[in-house]
Amino acid sequence: MKNIIYLLLLFSSILYAEIDERKSDVYFANGINTDERDAKKSIDKIKTEFKKNYPEGYKSVVNWGTSYNHTHGIGIDLYESMLQKIYEDKPGKNLVPFIFNLTEIADYFKFSFKGLITKVANKAPREVVTKYASDVAKNLAKKVTLVYNSKYGKNFTEEQIELMFEHVFNYLIDETVSSYVSMSEEEILAEEQADVTEHQTKYIKNIRDGHRVIIVAHSQGNLFTNRIYQNFEILEKDKWMQSYIKCISLASPANNVIGAEFPYMTFDNDMIQLVPDSLPTNATNPKRYSFTNAVGEKIETLYSVEAHSFLSSYMATDFVKDAVLGVMDIYTNPDFYSSQWIVKDYKMRKKNDRTYFLITMKHEHDSSIVMGEITYPFTGAGKLYHVTDNIGGTGWVHASPGGDEVFDSWETKTEDQVFMLNNEKKETVDFVEPITGCIVIDDMWSNNSTEYCVTTQ
C-alpha cells in the first residue's frame, strides 16, 4: 500500500513538473506536396531566424516541431484540400456574389478535377489529358470570371482566367503523372482526420502544461489549423484553449484566419488565389514570374506556383520574414496571455510572531487539471512555474517570468519582506498585519479585499 501511495505521489510530481506558464511551443503546419524532410527544413528555418533576431523570445520556446499533414503527391493533396474547402464552416466576409456561386463552382471543380487525376492515373495519352484540362479551364473561366472580378475588383477577361487555369492544370498534370496514388474519398478523409487528431492531441497537451501554442501555417496547413481551432469551439469543455493558440498564416486557401486578431499574408501573384473563396491578396511580391506561351512570347504569370513556396518565396522575402518573426516575438511573450491558474486557498504562516501567507491554486477552466502544491504568491498577475527553492519549500511560484531561485535572505531585504524571487522585478512575499485577529488579503489576489482569520500551520 505504501508503495502504491509513493508511486501516485511520484506520478503527480512528474505531472506537476510539466507545468510552466513561461513557455511556448512553435509548430510549422505544411502545405500540399510537402514531405517530412521539407517540413522539417521549414521549422528549422523559422527556428534559426527567430534565434538570431529575437534571442530573448527564443529562450521561452520549449518545443520546435511540425504539425505534419501527410502527402500523397500533389494530385491527392489538392483533392484533399478541395474536400476541406467544401466542408469549410465559416464563410468569407463581403463576398456575397462569390459565395452565391461557390457551391456550383465547387461541385463542378470537384467533378472536373477528379476526372483530370483519374485520366492521369489511368495513363491516358498526354494530348487527351491536356485537351481535357483545357476544356475544364474554359468552362471554369465561364463560371468564375464575373465572380473573381467582383471579389478582387479586377477586370479579367474570360481568356485571361482560362489561361490562368490552363497554366496551373498543365503544372498539375506534370506533377501528378509520377506521384498520383489511388485513394478513395473515404480514405483521404480518414487520413485527414487522423492528422487533425494527432495535431489537436499535441496542442491540448501543450496548453494543459501552461504553454502557448504558436503555429506558422502555410497553404493547406491553414485548413488543418482552422479545423482544430473550430473543434475547440465545438467542444465546450476545451473552448478556453482557443485563447492559448496563435496562428501566423501564409498563402492560405481558407476564407478566414482563426481568431479575429490573427495576421495573414498572401502575395498578389500567388496561385493560391485561384482557390474559390480564399482570402484576398494583401502583399505585393517583389519577385515576378513569367511563362512562355504557344508562340514563344514571355508573359508575366498573374498567379504563380513559384510565388507560393514557403522557403523560396515567403521566407526569402525580407518584409514577410520580418513580419513573421516580429509577430512570433509578441506571441511567445507570456505577458500576452492570462494565467490559467487562480487562488484556491490561503495558507497562513507565522515567522517571528508575524504573519504572511502562501497559497494553493486551482485551474480556472478545467477541474481535471490539478496542481495541489503550496505556492509562493509573488504576484497575482504572474504565471505559475517551478524554480529552485533555497528554503526547503515546494519551489512553485506564481510570479512574473524570469526568476529561477527563491531566497529568504538577500542583501536589500527589509523587515517587512519574507521571501524574494530573483526575477527582474525582485518580487517578494511580505508580512501582512493582523486586524482584530484577521488579515486583509490584497486586491491582486481577490476581486474584493477579503478578511481571513489567522491560523498558524
Shared-domain flag, residues 251 and 376:
no
- Of 73, 78, 45, the C-alpha closest to 220 is 78
Q: Name which residue leads in pLDDT, 139 or 227.
A: 227
pLDDT of residue 91: 41
pLDDT band for 224, please (50, 70, 90 cuts).
very high
DSSP H or E run through 115: helix 96-121
Whether residue 455 is predicted with pLDDT greater than 60 in this model: the reply is: no
How many whole angstroms from its chain centre is CA 448? 36
Tell which of 337, 364, 398 closes a domain.
337
Classified as helix, coil or strand, 182 is coil
The Cα–Cα gap between 371 and 165 comes to 57
- Express each pLDDT in 71-119 by its tens digit: 877 767 777 777 777 667 544 333 333 333 444 444 555 555 556 555 5
- Express each pLDDT in 166-196 by its tens digit: 776 676 666 554 444 456 677 888 899 999 9
pLDDT of residue 239: 92
β-strand partners of 384: 398
Q: Give 165's DSSP letter.
A: H
What mean pLDDT comes out for the span 380-389?
94
Tell which of 284, 304, 337 closes a domain.
337
Identify whether 12 is part of a domain.
Answer: no
* Of the candidate ranges 52-61, 235-244, 394-403, the one whose mean pLDDT is the lowest: 235-244
Q: Name which residue leads in pLDDT, 164 or 226.
A: 226
Whether residue 410 is predicted with pLDDT greater than 90 in this model: the reply is: yes
67 touches 109 (CB < 8 A): no
Shared-domain flag, residues 179 and 204:
yes
Identify whether 3 is part of a domain.
Answer: no
Burial of 123 (0-12, 13-18, 19+ CB in 10 A): exposed
pLDDT band for 164, please (50, 70, 90 cuts).
confident
pLDDT of residue 92: 39
How many whole angstroms from its chain centre is CA 86? 22
For cell 477579503, name the residue: 450
What mean pLDDT comes out for the span 296-307?
81
Shared-domain flag, residues 300 and 363:
no
How many whole angstroms from its chain centre is CA 175? 29
Express as a percent the part of the chain with pLDDT over 70: 72
Identify whether 401 is part of a domain.
Answer: yes
Shared-domain flag, residues 265 and 276:
yes
Return the C-alpha cell found at 179. 506521384
What mean pLDDT comes out for the span 202-210?
96
The Cα–Cα gap between 42 and 27 comes to 10
pLDDT of residue 256: 82
Shared-domain flag, residues 216 and 271:
yes
- Of 261, 296, 326, the C-alpha closest to 50 is 326
Tell which of 314, 337, 360 closes a domain.
337
The Cα–Cα gap between 309 and 334 comes to 31
Identify whether 7 is part of a domain.
Answer: no
Q: Across 271-353, where does the E strand assignment appear? A: 290-292, 298-300, 341-351
231 touches 245 (CB < 8 A): no
Q: Name which residue leads in pLDDT, 236 or 117.
A: 236
What mean pLDDT comes out for the span 360-387?
94
Tell me the chain's radius of gyration from C-alpha atoms.
28
- Express each pLDDT in 324-336 by its tens digit: 999 999 999 999 9
Whether residue 266 is predicted with pLDDT greater than 90 in this model: the reply is: yes
Shared-domain flag, residues 296 and 351:
no
Identify whether 6 is part of a domain.
Answer: no
Shared-domain flag, residues 275 and 142:
yes
In 92-107, which positions are buried (b, 16+ CB within 10 angstroms) versus exposed (e)?
beebeebbebbeebbe
Q: Looking at the 3D structure of the chain, how many domains does it have?
A: 2
Helix axes 185-208, 221-234, angle to 10 degrees: 70
Whether residue 255 is predicted with pLDDT greater than 90 in this model: the reply is: no
246 touches 260 (CB < 8 A): no
Q: How many of the other CB atoms lie within 10 Å of CB of 203?
A: 25
65 touches 27 (CB < 8 A): yes
Shared-domain flag, residues 265 and 161:
yes
The dihedral region occupied by 450, where left means phi > 0, alpha psi between -120 and 50, and beta the remainder, is beta
What mean pLDDT comes out for the span 58-77?
89
Range of the domain at 403: 340-453
DSSP 116-163: HHHHHHTT--HHHHHHHHHHHHHHHHHHHHHHHHHHHT----HHHHHH
What mean pLDDT comes out for the span 343-351?
90
pLDDT band for 212, please (50, 70, 90 cuts).
very high
pLDDT band for 44, please (50, 70, 90 cuts).
very high
Shared-domain flag, residues 152 and 183:
yes
Give me the amino acid identity at 73.
G
The Cα–Cα gap between 235 and 217 comes to 23
379 touches 444 (CB < 8 A): yes
Give me the amino acid identity at 55.
P
Task: Supply the pTM of this predicted model.
Answer: 0.80
How many whole angstroms from its chain centre is CA 250? 12
The Cα–Cα gap between 70 and 80 comes to 11
In a 13 Å sphere around the CA of 200, the CA atoms on its Cβ side amount to 21
The Cα–Cα gap between 212 and 335 comes to 11
Express as a percent the part of the chain with pLDDT over 90: 49
Whether residue 435 is predicted with pLDDT greater than 70 in this model: the reply is: no
Identify whether 11 is part of a domain.
Answer: no
280 touches 152 (CB < 8 A): yes
pLDDT of residue 421: 97
19 touches 384 (CB < 8 A): yes
Whether residue 51 is predicted with pLDDT greater than 60 in this model: the reply is: yes
Identify whether 298 is part of a domain.
Answer: yes
Q: Name which residue leads in pLDDT, 263 or 341.
A: 341
Q: Indicate the average pLDDT of the chain.
A: 81
- Express each pLDDT in 274-290 by its tens digit: 776 788 889 999 999 88
pLDDT of residue 419: 97
pLDDT of residue 90: 47
Helix axes 74-86, 96-121, angle to 10 degrees: 150
Shared-domain flag, residues 393 and 266:
no
- Of 127, 125, 331, the C-alpha closest to 212 is 331
The Cα–Cα gap between 336 and 349 comes to 33
Shared-domain flag, residues 269 and 363:
no
pLDDT of residue 113: 56
